[in-house]
Amino acid sequence: MRTDPKPNTRGLPTLPALVSPLNGTVEIAGPDQFPLDELIHKGLRARNDPRDVATTNPDASFFGIVPSERNLIPGDGARIAETRFADWLSCSTEQQPAPSVKGA
């Protein structure tokens, strides 16, 4: 089975979907690390969406726990793709007019 990234139709590398998972889980991630609110903000801006994103509250609970900064970061055994978020975003979104937002 091929395990190295291969180009897809958009020219971005992909990870193989059919690999043997470790304990039933395959953890994948990109090379970038940033807060979730920043990820959402970048995605909205790429789509010309005018909505704003609330700043992350470090004391907010998530399913009953208060996660640390490292809880949502891939572990040591994760498969790290080469594609940076900005590159993926530029290929996966077309610049569109701002959507109409009801109640805004």
pLDDT digits (tens, 9 = 90+) for 10-36: 555 555 555 666 677 778 888 998 888
Structural contact between residues 15 and 79, judged by C-beta atoms closer than 8 angstroms: yes
Q: Are residues 66 and 89 in the same domain?
A: no
What's the CA gap between 26 and 74, in Å, rounded? 11
Whether the predicted pLDDT of 2 surpasses 60: no
> Is 23 contained in some domain?
yes
How many helices (H) and strands (E) the chain has is answered by: 2, 4
Q: Are residues 85 and 59 in the same domain?
A: no
Q: Are residues 38 and 67 in the same domain?
A: yes
Domain range for 38 is 34-72
Domain count for the chain, please give it. 2
pLDDT digits (tens, 9 = 90+) for 59-101: 888 788 887 777 778 888 888 888 888 888 888 765 555 556 5
Question: Is the four-CA dihedral 12, 39, 81, 15 of positive or negative sign?
Answer: negative
> Is 10 contained in some domain?
yes
Q: Are residues 78 and 66 in the same domain?
A: no
Length of the chain as a residue count:
104
